[in-house]
Amino acid sequence: MDKHFLEFWGNYLLGMARSREQFDNAAQFFRRSLELWGSPREEGAGKEHPDEISRWIKIGAAHFQAQMDLFRKIYGLEGNPEEGSANPAEWNRAAENFRKSFREFFELLGVVPREDYDRLRRNCEELKKKFAEQEETIRRLKKTRAEKGPDPEQTMQAFEDLILKQGKQFQDIMDSFGKMYSKRD
Instruction: Please indicate, yes or no, whether residues 104 and 127 belong to a single structural domain of this protein.
Output: no
CA–CA dist 20, 55 (Å, integer): 20
Q: Is the pLDDT of residue 42 over 50?
A: no
Q: Is the pLDDT of residue 72 over 90?
A: no
Query: What does the pLDDT read at residue 32?
Result: 61
Which of residues 72 and 41 earns the better pLDDT score?
72
Number of Cβ within a 10 Å radius of residue 169:
10
Q: Is the pLDDT of residue 47 over 90?
A: no
- Most confident listed range (9-18, 69-78, 152-161, 173-182): 152-161
Span 9-40, pLDDT tens digits: 787 777 766 666 666 766 666 666 555 554 44
Query: What does the pLDDT read at residue 41?
Result: 43
Instruction: Please indicate, yes or no, whether residues 68 and 144 belong to a single structural domain of this protein.
Output: no
Instruction: Please indicate, yes or no, whether residues 17 and 90 belong to a single structural domain of this protein.
Output: yes
CB contact set of 66 (below 8 Å; sequence gap of 6+): 22
Instruction: Please indicate, yes or no, whether residues 56 and 127 belong to a single structural domain of this protein.
Output: no
The total of structural domains in the chain comes to 3
- For residue 45, name the pLDDT band (cuts at 50, 70, 90): very low
Which of residues 149 and 52 earns the better pLDDT score?
149
Instruction: Report which residue type is found at 157.
Output: Q
Instruction: Please indicate, yes or no, whether residues 34 and 47 belong to a single structural domain of this protein.
Output: yes
3-state secondary structure (DSSP) of residue 42 = coil
Query: What does the pLDDT read at residue 123?
Result: 95
What is the average per-residue pLDDT within 164-172? 90
Instruction: Please indicate, yes or no, whether residues 36 and 100 belong to a single structural domain of this protein.
Output: yes
Query: What does the pLDDT read at residue 65?
Result: 75
3-state secondary structure (DSSP) of residue 132 = helix
Q: Is the pLDDT of residue 107 over 70?
A: yes
Instruction: Please indicate, yes or no, whether residues 142 and 181 belong to a single structural domain of this protein.
Output: no
Instruction: Please indicate, yes or no, whether residues 143 and 161 belong to a single structural domain of this protein.
Output: no
| First and final C-alpha spacing in the chain | 108
Instruction: Please indicate, yes or no, whether residues 93 and 129 belong to a single structural domain of this protein.
Output: no
pLDDT, the chain, mean: 76
CA–CA dist 134, 137 (Å, integer): 5
Asked if residues 75 and 4 have their Cβ atoms less than 8 Å apart, the reply is: yes
Asked if residues 97 and 2 have their Cβ atoms less than 8 Å apart, the reply is: yes
Per the structure, the complete domain to which residue 18 belongs is given by: 3-111
Asked if residues 87 and 79 have their Cβ atoms less than 8 Å apart, the reply is: yes
Instruction: Please indicate, yes or no, whether residues 46 and 82 belong to a single structural domain of this protein.
Output: yes
What is the average per-residue pLDDT within 141-165? 84
Burial of 74 from C-beta contacts in 10 A (0-12 / 13-18 / 19+): buried
Query: What does the pLDDT read at residue 26?
Result: 65
Instruction: Please indicate, yes or no, whether residues 162 and 91 belong to a single structural domain of this protein.
Output: no
Instruction: Please indicate, yes or no, whether residues 15 and 33 belong to a single structural domain of this protein.
Output: yes
Which of residues 114 and 5 earns the better pLDDT score?
114
Q: Is the pLDDT of residue 154 over 60?
A: yes
